[in-house]
Every structure is written in C-alpha cells, then in structure tokens.
C-alpha cells in the first residue's frame, strides 16, 4: 500500500482542497438531509444547528483520513459520522431541557457503541422527553461501526475506550446544574490524577478532543497500527496536543460563552499573560511528544495547523488583547502555523 501521508504544508493543503473538503461536504449534505427529516422539533433543531455551526470540526478532523491510505474515504465516513455524533450530543446537553447527569451519560453511550461493532444500539434518549429522531443517531452510530468491522481494532480498543470514557465524563460533569459543574470537575480531576503539571481545567480540556480517536481509527483502516504504535499515539497526543486543541477552541469562544453563561476553561486563567504562557507550554510539550511518532512531520503539522486555524477565526478579533497573544502563539508554533493561519484567513474571505 502506497504511503500518501503529506510531509509538507503545501502537499497537505492541496490534499485538503482537492480530496478532503469535497468528500466531507458530500457526507455532511447526506447527514443534513437525515437531520431535516427528524420528526421531533427539539432534536431536529439541535441536529441541524450542530451541522451548520460546527462544520469546521468535521473538516479539520478529516485531515486524519490521509493516514488511511487507499481507505481514506472510509476514514472520512467514520470521522464525519463520529464528529457529528459528538457535536449533536454537545448541543443536546448544552442547550438541554435536562440537567440530569444520567441522561447525559446515556446519550454518550452512543460513542462507545460507535467504536465497537459488536455492541447493539439502544434508546439513547430513554431518560429525556424528546424521543423520535427517525433513527438519526442510530444511523450515525452504525456508519461508524461499519467502517470498523474488518479492521484489527483490538490493538487500539483499550486506548479508544479510555478516550471516550474521558470525553463522556467531561460532557456529563460540565453540563449539569451550573452550581455543580466546577466541584464535579475538580473532584474528577483529583480522582484521575493524570498529570500533576496540569490544572483541573486543562485536564478537562484535554479530555474533550476527538483528534486521537481519528488518528487511531485512520491508522487502523490503513492497516498500519499495532499495539505499541497505538500506545505511542495515545501518549503522543494526550494530554498536550488534545489540550491545545480544546483550549484554542475555548479561547475563540470566550465572547459568546460569556453571553450564553456557558462554561469556558480559559476563564480560569488569572490573566491573559498566564493564559499565553500556558498555551505556549502546550505547544512546546505537544511538539516534543509527537516528535517520536511515525509520520512525525504530519503530526507536527497538525499541531501547527491547530494554532493557525483557530487564531484565524473571525471570532478572534472580538477578544481583548488578541493581537499580542496571537502573534506570540504563531511565533512559538513555527513557520507552518503562520502559513496555515494565512490559508485559513483566505478561506474565510473566499467563503464570504
């Protein structure tokens, strides 16, 4: 099997434009049509909103399909379906009529099921009033399962289970009653004791990324994964690259999260300077941890691409002191980050 993993930013950007984005668009058109047919208005509204407002999550995540070689289309189908589940459930919990942690945990059982074709789907809405989605969530889960049927997933299953367990715990704790959120997250962090260098809100952020799942599954589909490699990928991505991903996501959402009274982990830094220092540390630690990985230049571009992409988002211009922090993080990340930043800004202009 040929190795088509891009080794330079130019080849990566060409692959995104010519191969990845068109395939993602096709998948999202399919899922949007499915979402439009959901009978229950609340479920339909949240499904459509998650696709319309979080499309870029699927576009960014689908870059990992380039690790799957000739099975990149199967990888894109998995990534788009899995990310759509994640974004849909986030909307259901974020804008929920429920504050029941048991309800949130049951909803997220769908992600465990999506990663294990041997599991049967169930009624994930059993603990909430809104029920009839016309099979939408089940179809998303089965689409993920179908891509994994023929791969040797046992080499990655423990790491996939760990990732989805962390992700589910985060989603449960951060969506309960506002008075309970921080105490629950702090207690969860004490129980996990994953990394003494992290604050509780940094650990929480690191648990909220889907990047490592996409990386592992794409390597599985490409037939290029054994257990030692799966372990090295998990350790290379968690917590610092995943933490960088979600902290940048929270960074650009600060203004709207204030207005919506949503939890934002950037708010727990004492000041902008401290936040800049910590994000720089995440950039440097992530660079060190992905360096030993196979296809290390690709993973370094992911790290740089995250910084360039998020800091080019139009929402950044509404943030206090954004220019100073943006310049510092782009400089810390390296030349490719500035190239990805320019590419993303041009993309937004063209889209207008």
Q: pLDDT (tens digit, 9 = 90+) per residue, 309-329?
A: 999 988 888 887 678 899 999
Write out the two tokens for 255: 């203004």
Nearest in space to 280 (alpha carbons), one of 313, 309, 240, 340: 240
| 3-class SS of residue 121 | coil
Q: Could you identify the residue written with the tokens 């390597």?
A: 219
Other beta carbons within 10 Å of 121 = 17
pLDDT of amino acid 270: 95
Question: Of 234, 76, 207, 69, whose CA–CA distance to 144 is shortest?
Answer: 76
C-alpha separations of 94 from 99, 178, 200, 214 in Å: 9, 11, 20, 23
pLDDT band at 1 (very low <50, low <70, confident <90, very high): very low
Tell me, what's the pLDDT at 324? 87
pLDDT digits 0-9 by tens, 231-290: 999 999 999 999 999 999 999 999 988 888 889 999 999 999 999 999 999 999 999 999
Phi, psi of 150, rounded to the nearest 5 degrees: -100, 5
CA-atom Rg of the chain in angstroms = 19
Q: Which residues of 148-178 are buried (b: 16+ CB within 10 A; e: fewer)?
A: beebebebbbebbeebbebbbbbbbbbbbee
- Residue pair 156/225 in contact by the 8 Å Cβ criterion: yes
Residues contacting residue 52 through CB under 8 Å, at least 6 positions apart: none
Query: How would residue 343 be classed by pLDDT, with cut points 50, 70 and 90?
Result: confident
* Mean pLDDT estimate for the chain: 94
Task: Name which residue leads in pLDDT, 273 or 95.
Answer: 273
Query: Is the confidence at residue 2, as pLDDT, over 70?
Result: no
Residue 120 DSSP symbol: P
What pLDDT does residue 19 have? Answer: 92
Half-sphere exposure of 56 (CA within 13 A, CB side): 12
Q: What does pTM read for this prediction? A: 0.96
* Weakest mean pLDDT among 11-15, 218-222, 320-324: 320-324
Measured CA to CA, the distance from residue 160 to residue 163 in angstroms comes to 5
Name the residue with higher pLDDT: 195 or 249.
249
The answer on pLDDT for 3 being more than 70 is no
């Amino acid at each position: 099997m040929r190795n088509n993993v891009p080794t330079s930013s130019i080849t990566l950007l060409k692959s995104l434009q010519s191969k990845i984005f068109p395939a993602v668009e096709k998948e999202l058109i399919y899922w949007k049509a499915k979402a439009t047919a959901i009978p229950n208005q609340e479920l339909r509204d949240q499904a459509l909103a998650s696709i319309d407002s979080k499309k870029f999550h699927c576009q960014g995540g689908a870059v990992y399909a380039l690790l799957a070689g000739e099975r990149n289309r199967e990888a894109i189908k998995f990534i788009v379906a899995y990310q759509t589940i994640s974004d849909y459930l986030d909307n259901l919990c974020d804008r929920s009529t429920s504050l029941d942690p048991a309800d949130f945990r049951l909803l997220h059982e769908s992600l465990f099921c999506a990663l294990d074709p041997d599991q049967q789907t169930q009624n994930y809405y059993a603990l909430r009033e809104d029920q009839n989605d016309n099979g939408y969530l089940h179809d998303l889960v089965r689409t993920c399962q179908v891509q994994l049927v023929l791969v040797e997933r046992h080499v990655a299953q423990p790491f996939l289970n760990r990732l989805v367990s962390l992700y589910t715990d985060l989603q449960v704790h951060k969506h309960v009653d506002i008075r309970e959120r921080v105490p629950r997250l702090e207690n969860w962090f004490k129980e996990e004791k994953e990394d003494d260098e992290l604050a509780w809100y940094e650990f929480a952020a690191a648990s909220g990324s889907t990047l490592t799942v996409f990386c592992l599954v794409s390597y599985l589909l490409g037939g290029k994964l054994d257990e030692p490699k799966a372990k090295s990928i998990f350790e290379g991505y968690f917590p610092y690259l995943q933490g960088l991903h979600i902290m940048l996501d929270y960074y650009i959402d600060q203004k709207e999260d204030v207005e919506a009274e949503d939890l934002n982990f950037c708010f727990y830094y004492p000041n902008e300077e401290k936040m800049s220092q910590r994000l720089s540390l995440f950039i440097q630690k992530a660079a060190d941890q992905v360096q030993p990985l196979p296809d290390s230049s690709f993973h370094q571009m992911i790290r740089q691409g995250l910084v360039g992409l998020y800091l080019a988002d139009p929402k950044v211009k509404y943030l206090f002191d954004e220019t100073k922090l943006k310049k510092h993080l782009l400089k810390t990340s390296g030349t490719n980050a500035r190239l990805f930043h320019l590419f993303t800004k041009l993309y937004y202009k063209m889209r207008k």
